[in-house]
Amino acid sequence: MWDLPILYGLWGMAILTLTGIYVWATVSFGARFSNLTHRGIITNGPYRWSKHPAYIAKGLSWWLISVPFLAHGGALEALRHGLLLLALNGVYFLRAKTEERHLSRDPVYVDYACWIEAHGLFRWLRTLPFGHRLSYRPPFSPSSLPDMIG
């Protein structure tokens, strides 16, 4: 991209913006951050537009960082790196779905997730082929939630 300084600058700004969103999403947790416990639902910061802004920003920034280098090692090397990035994105997708399944025991999260489903930044993805797989569906019926929580 050295030959295209405007594209080079825009590409770099996109990477920095995504990194900033990742940091903002992480900082939004504050003292409540934990991978092992449920310490409340965050609905401010970038979480007002997406349930998983940190994962999305991290994944997109990895692609933007890697894409310029895919062309330098030949087709097989580019395919290998692309598949590895897809696998890494798949791990984060499964992690997000697992977190959603656990958090869906909290009616506050169910309300939040349903609101994001209808109003979130990425609601348009549901219109794509296989987009229904990205849709939020509480794994528990609303009538069973009070028994599970209480």
Question: Minimal CA–CA distance to 109: which of 41, 37, 39, 17?
Answer: 41
Cβ atoms of 54 and 22 closer than 8 Å: yes
**Predicted pLDDT of residue 75:** 85
**Predicted pLDDT of residue 36:** 63
pTM of the predicted model as reported, rounded to 2 decimal places: 0.79
Alpha-carbon separation of residue 79 from 70, 74, 75, 112 (angstroms)? 8, 9, 6, 38
Give the rounded distance of the alpha carbon of 69 from its chain centre. Answer: 23
Tens digit of each residue's pLDDT, the chain (150 residues): 668 789 889 999 999 999 999 999 988 877 666 666 677 788 899 999 999 999 999 999 999 998 887 777 788 888 888 899 999 999 999 999 888 888 888 899 999 999 998 898 988 888 888 877 777 877 665 554 444 444
C-alpha 65/C-alpha 117 separation (Å) is 29
C-alpha 59/C-alpha 32 separation (Å) is 23
Cβ atoms of 88 and 100 closer than 8 Å: no
C-alpha 69/C-alpha 77 separation (Å) is 10
C-alpha 149/C-alpha 109 separation (Å) is 12
Question: Minimal CA–CA distance to 52: which of 11, 105, 89, 107?
Answer: 89
